[in-house]
A = this chain, B = another copy of it.
Amino acid sequence: MGALHEGHLSLARLAHSLADEVVVSIFVNPTQFAPHEDFDRYPRVLQADVEKLGNDNHADVVFAPTIQEIYPAGFATRIVMNGPAEGLESDFRPHFFAGVTIIVAKLLLAALPEIAIFGEKDYQQLLVIRRLVSDLGIPANIIGAPILRESDGLAMSSRNAYLSPEERKVAGKLNVIVSGLCARLRAGETIPAVEKSGAHAVLDAGFSSVDYIAVRDAATLAPITSLDAPARVLAAATLGKTRLIDNMAVT
């Protein structure tokens, strides 16, 4: 969606190391925003983005379509998903994944890339996209790329620009809490206990509200009761008007 930070650029660099030609899409996709969300104020700095992508050959092509090019008059199709799209983000952003699936399907079919890279920052989105590509048989290999973080561990996000200096300090605590929860899970604390104390810790740190602190199966996002399979801690919390998400592998 543009407003590129180092996290985005790391995806382009990874792509560049794996492929001969790299296409970067920049499109603030209206269908993944609810009316009350931040579509209008989402940062749009296309010229600066293109300049960043030109440095060090991050991208060979930047595809920055208009809304009318993506959703022309008469557009009538929606892609809806259950499975990995259920719960977590969907509980708080019910529009979100139908917006993600349609735009990702369209972008992948427009470019027909051999590989496509998505950040693990939007971890549930990554699993939704893997499922979409598998279910429809879109001929692309989906690659997840690790979260890039600021010096205090805050996951890089274009939405961090919304934060006041005070909020920015609080924001940096989310990753520390999530990391601590992972350690406590590895040390043997139960999943319900960790989820509950995690939510309290986020509120105590100064967040306005907690959408979820959840320990889930890392491959399916199904709720789990033990750490027999790879697990992931996922977090979403709001700070003033800004909603932040983060996630980490438990093991």
Contact = CB atoms under 8 A, between A and B. Distances in A.
A137 B132 CA distance: 15
Contact of A131 (B74, B136, B138): B74
Give the 7 A-B residue pairs with the shortest CB-CB distance, closest first. A76-B83, A77-B135, A109-B137, A76-B82, A76-B81, A78-B80, A77-B81
B85 A131 contact: no
A34 interface: no
Given A76-B84, A78-B80, 16 more contacts: A75-B135, A76-B82, A76-B83, A76-B85, A77-B79, A77-B80, A77-B101, A77-B136, A78-B81, A102-B136, A105-B136, A106-B135, A106-B136, A106-B137, A109-B137, A109-B138
A76 B131 contact: yes
A240 interface: no
Contacts of A132: 77
A15 B139 CA distance: 24
Which of A81, A82, A135, A138 has the most chain B CB within a 10 Å cutoff?
A: A135
A110 interface: yes
B136 A109 contact: yes
Which of A80, A110, A131, A137 has the most chain B CB within a 10 Å cutoff?
A: A137
A76 B135 contact: yes
